[in-house]
Structure 1
Amino acid sequence: MTTSVSEDDKRRRIRQYFTKLKLKWPSILITIGLLILLAKSAIGLIILIAGGVWFFLEVKPLFDAPGDQTIDAWLIDDIENLKKRSLDRLNIDPSELIRDSIVIRGPILWNTNGVPSKELDWKKGKDGRIRFSINAVTIVHLTEHKLSSYQCDYNFLRNVPLNEQDDEFHYRDVVAVSTRDDTTNYTLPNNTLMKQAQLFKLAVSSGDSINVIVNSADLVKFTGGDIAETGIDNAIKALRKVLSEKKI
């Protein structure tokens, strides 16, 4: 478990983690101040100090920003709380579960219902992996006779699940658990289109399905790093194992 912090402080520090530094203008002001000061004008010192204060205020959030591992641990803690929420919504008692619940996490970096555009953010960690402020979270609970799922768009900055959806399927109705490449039409923050993505898909005989975007070459190119752990490999392995046992 992570070191105990208050909820407000936790969210504040998460926002600091995702803060993008805006140093262009304070750096320009510092340069102008230095040039004027070198010309032996007293006003250069005033400009230099102003630029320095501006620069400090921009970088100050970094002093208390959590590291990559802390961010990962906090997100895992939040997802554990989402597991409890999903069990309540689906009216499942934990004693009914036949194995640990399965979690699949995917990135969101495009316009999403209920999410302010300014909160769609990301950061490349020191390990080269990309973390996202908004995540698509899918939790699958496996009981004796059925598979139940909970999905939401999770705002990590605010600890708020949005666009929640619950589904229940009998094991016999599940026809496929797979990953697939599919065409998409999402606009990234630089106004380029994310045209293709890798999806996790669980399909049932009725035509319904659970879909989660877990990766995209366009997203990787835009962010310049690898997508952080999504849980997809473990999910597919676990689901196929349970389905093979239940369909015998």
Structure 2
Amino acid sequence: MGNSTFFQSGSVQNADKIYNFGDNSDPMAAGRRLLDERAYRQAAQCFERFLAQGASQQSSKRAEANVLVAIAMLARHPPSYRTPEQATKIVHHLMAAETSLAAVVAGLVRDDYYLSVGISDPSDLATLASTAEPANLTLDELNLIERHLAAVPGRTWERLRAHCRSLGIHLPAAAAGPPSAMTTTARLIGVSKYFVTLPPAPPPDRGGLAATLVGLGLGLALLPCGGLYVETRWYVGLALLILLPAVGVVVGLVGIGLWRDSQQDRKARQRYEEARAAAAGGPSDKQMDTWLEQDVMARGARRLRLNPALVAGSGDLLVEPQAAVGVSRLESDQTVEQVVAQGNSTRIRVVRKRTTLGKTRVGKDGKLRSDHYEVLVLYLSAHRASVFKCDLDLATRQLLTEETVTFHYRDVVSISSRTIVLPKSAEGAIPILDAVSGRNMRHFADSRFTLSLVNGQHLEVSVALNTDNRELEVAWANSDVHQVVERMVWSRKEQEEGSSS
């Protein structure tokens, strides 16, 4: 486990200092020094070594060591971030201590790990936690809590805060639940602006040329009536009488055609200016990627009761959380009114159809970006893998769906990137906003990152779409994620299978 304690001798480097606690004759003192430096994993090892020496030590020192082991294992994280095995070990040490400080820590563990999610707390833990009284703690113990324990919702922490406030010690307020991701006005407006497509730029105004041609055509048609052919030969006059009006009619018709086109140009120019105003100040591709990165990694650890830090930093994970990101294929019902002709009359028919919830477009770098993403985050610990899967609304930062799965490495059957060509009648096609026409073009083939389990379950996200002439990848390093996950999962799977054989 990421925070399990075990004896380790030799030098451990932390905070630019080197402690050699393997040969230290006083592991209790070494543990206190490491705890003061917040080297929690090494401090827990020292306290465990002290307790392993047997029952020859003073009972008060053993009680103190048991409490300090529990505090070091919590490592300034909420108890709900611990695994069941770690929580059981923490409770075991607190029960062995049975001091005033142990009772208060037990109250925090009970409030956050058990009661916050409706888990029945062990009777012995409940008995110890019921005796928690902050007023019985010394000033040193209160400072220890302030420095090394995280604020958690519940009655115990509120009582601690009230008592510490009277002594001039500030403890932060605990959030009522997991911190909610709050969006901003700039983000709400910016995401919608990103998906505004400018129509083709209209040609220059041709109204002046149209008026000139109409006037010229009218003039040519009326010239014969001005007597210009009176002094000419009769056949020249007759030619002019026929030719000039004909040329005038042609020029006038061309001018009228240009005038009609200029009216269409005016409407197109109005639409273009409106779209330009709507897209003005929109985010860049880089800004869209930054917003996505802010949301992806912040999800899931608390739901899975994991400390997202690495094992080397007293966390649970062998590597950083690995996220595969694709375009969401969530659909919603849409009502459309259609005009239906019946003989000489018409009527309005209401049609309901399923449409993809999100918008998708290709950025300047040729990568796909969307306002709705499907996110799969893998947390790889020493003995098991955990998955948090969700559909994310990028503008509001809301999770539209959530799913958690935990499994042993030996349960993994395959990790693959596969391309699935779907028939045009299949559901789940993803529309891409066409920059030229401004319309959504639906594509029925995609590439997926897939994790297959032994029970037949498939966890997958669509990481790329195959259009008619090229593959469009989602703007996320999914190929790197695939390599890291595949390497780590197969290596852990081989280790487990080797140890069990």
Please give the residue correspondences for 1:98-109 in structure 2 after superposition, counting only pairs within 5 Å.
98-108=318-328
Matched, 1:245 2:462: no
Q: Superposition RMSD on alpha carbons, in Å?
A: 3.3
Q: Which residue of 1 aligns with 2:459?
A: 210
Q: Structure 1 residue 102: deviation in Å?
A: 0.3
Which amino acid counterpart does residue 168 of structure 1 have in structure 2? T
Which amino acid counterpart does residue 480 of structure 2 have in structure 1? N
Pairing partner for 1:20 from 197, 201, 205:
197
Q: Structure 1 residue 103: deviation in Å?
A: 0.6
For residues 68-110 of structure 1, give each alpha carbon's deviation from its aligned partner in whole angstroms, at most 9, with x where no partner exists: 11111121112233x3xx11211212221221000101123x5
Distance 1:157 1:35 in 2: 47
Return the index of the structure with the highest Cα Rg.
2
Which amino acid counterpart does residue 463 of structure 2 have in structure 1? V
Which amino acid counterpart does residue 215 of structure 1 have in structure 2? A
Pairing partner for 1:92 from 293, 306, 321:
306
Distance 1:206 1:91 in 2: 23
Which amino acid counterpart does residue 244 of structure 1 have in structure 2? W
Matched, 1:69 2:286: yes
Higher-strand-fraction structure = 1
Normalised TM-score (structure 1):
0.75
For residues 209-233 of structure 1, give each alpha carbon's deviation from its aligned partner in whole angstroms, at most 9, with x where no partner exists: 212222231xx349x7732334332
Matched, 1:229 2:475: yes
Task: Give structure 1 stretches of 5+ with no counterpart.
Answer: 1-5
For residues 227-248 of structure 1, give each alpha carbon's deviation from its aligned partner in whole angstroms, at most 9, with x where no partner exists: 2334332222212222233232
Q: Structure 1 residue 170: deviation in Å?
A: 0.7
Distance 1:167 1:114 in 2: 29
Distance 2:421 2:471 in 1: 21
Distance 1:159 1:117 in 2: 21
Distance 1:107 1:227 in 2: 10
Normalised TM-score (structure 2):
0.40
CA gap of 1:64–1:153, structure 2 versus 1, over 3 A, is same
Distance 2:443 2:271 in 1: 35
Matched, 1:131 2:131: no
Tell me if structure 2 keeps the 8 A contact 1:179–1:200: yes
Return 71-80 or 237-246, whichever deviates more: 237-246
CA gap of 1:49–1:125, structure 2 versus 1, over 3 A, is same
Relative contact order: is structure 1 or structure 2 higher (C-alpha 8 Å, sep ≥ 6)? 1
Pairing partner for 2:418 from 176, 180, 186:
180
CA gap of 1:227–1:33, structure 2 versus 1, over 3 A, is farther
Tell me if structure 2 keeps the 8 A contact 1:14–1:157: yes
Q: Which residue of 2 aligns with 1:3?
A: none
CA gap of 1:153–1:35, structure 2 versus 1, over 3 A, is farther
Return 10-19 or 180-189, whichever deviates more: 180-189
Which amino acid counterpart does residue 473 of structure 2 have in structure 1? I
Q: Which residue of 1 aligns with 2:138?
A: none
Distance 1:127 1:191 in 2: 19
Question: Aligned pairs, how many?
Answer: 227
Tell me if structure 1 keeps the 8 A contact 2:452–2:459: yes
Pairing partner for 1:148 from 378, 386, 399:
386
Q: Which residue of 2 aligns with 1:171?
A: 409
Identical-residue share of aligned pairs (%): 20
Which amino acid counterpart does residue 78 of structure 1 have in structure 2? D
CA gap of 1:233–1:53, structure 2 versus 1, over 3 A, is closer
Tell me if structure 2 keeps the 8 A contact 1:107–1:214: yes
Tell me if structure 1 keeps the 8 A contact 2:327–2:370: yes
Distance 2:441 2:283 in 1: 29
Tell me if structure 2 keeps the 8 A contact 1:147–1:171: yes
Q: Which residue of 1 aligns with 2:297?
A: 80
For residues 121-156 of structure 1, give each alpha carbon's deviation from its aligned partner in whole angstroms, at most 9, with x where no partner exists: 122222222212221111011112110101112121
Q: Which residue of 1 aligns with 2:185?
A: 8
Task: Give structure 2 stretches of 5+ with no counterpart.
Answer: 1-182, 216-258, 309-314, 335-353, 432-439, 496-501
CA gap of 1:141–1:120, structure 2 versus 1, over 3 A, is same
Tell me if structure 2 keeps the 8 A contact 1:175–1:205: yes
